[in-house]
Amino acid sequence: MATIKLTIEYDGTAYAGWQRQPNQPTIQGAVETALTRITKQQISIIAAGRTDAGVHARGQVASFQSDKSIPVDKWRLALNSALPKDISVVSSEQVPESFHARYSAKEKLYEYRISRHPARPAIDRNRVWHLPCDLDTQAIRHAMSGFIGRHDFTSFQGPRASTSDPMCVVSQVSLTSDLMTLTIQIQANRFLKQMVRTIIGTLTEVGRHKRSPDSVTDILQAKDRRAAGETAPPQGLYLLHVWY
């Protein structure tokens, strides 16, 4: 029985997130359907992270086991011939049986993109958050430093979250910007449900001078979702990379 690791890119616009759901199109459902077509078997796959509806990925990782004698490099070709055009397997490789796409992950990197163009985007409408206002990037950078380190992120956790451990270690938060686009990257050992989107929503409130850049510490200490800012929309979020 071989354990196969897949790196997957997808446009999440048409899907109700990664996790399989009844009567809803999902990334997991599409990949498992493709595996069934190839192997004639029911195969379950495990992902590094369960992205929400509308969220994209350039480096999602998933793993599964199969007893089919398919050369490891052929899984990518076989799956891409059976997958919808908005999902692509970037690479396939055999890994030790102990590998687990979720629990073996050491860190993940997410990116969020904001368009500040005065006109609403057409081509990128499902790939950025359109926020046509002035944002104080210096204030945002000041606030970002408050997330670095090990913290209880209960205040940044979405509703109906199932995790019993709200502690996360954030190793990097960075911002790059040009005239019309602002991009924020967040790297951590783990993420809570909607954590990145709530951090982004809070940072944009800092950038609009609705909150102080020093408020992050108080928000974290509150351990109350009501203390943080709005939840940024899903279409600007990308899972970029997972480290093992």
What is the distance between the alpha carbons of residues 47 and 63, in angstroms, rounded to a whole number? 7
Q: Annotated catalytic residue: which of 11, 52, 136, 178?
A: 52
> Phi and psi at residue 110, in whole multiples of 5°?
-115, 150
For residues 31 and 214, the answer to whether their CB atoms sit within 8 Å is: no
SS3 string, the chain, reads CEEEEEEEEECHHHCCCCCCECCECCHHHHHHHHHHHHHCCCCCCEECCCCCCCCEEEEEEEEEEECCCCCCCHHHHHHHHHCCCCEEEEEEEEECCCCCCCCCCCEEEEEEEEECCCCCCCCCCCCCEECCCCCCHHHHHHHHHHHCEEEECHHHCCCCCCCCCCEEEEEEEEEEECCCEEEEEEEECCCCCCHHHHHHHHHHHHHCCCCCHHHHHHHHHHCCHHHCCCCCCHHHEEEEEEEC
- The answer to whether 178 is a known catalytic residue is no
C-beta atoms surrounding 106 within 10 Å: 9
Residues with active-site annotation: 52
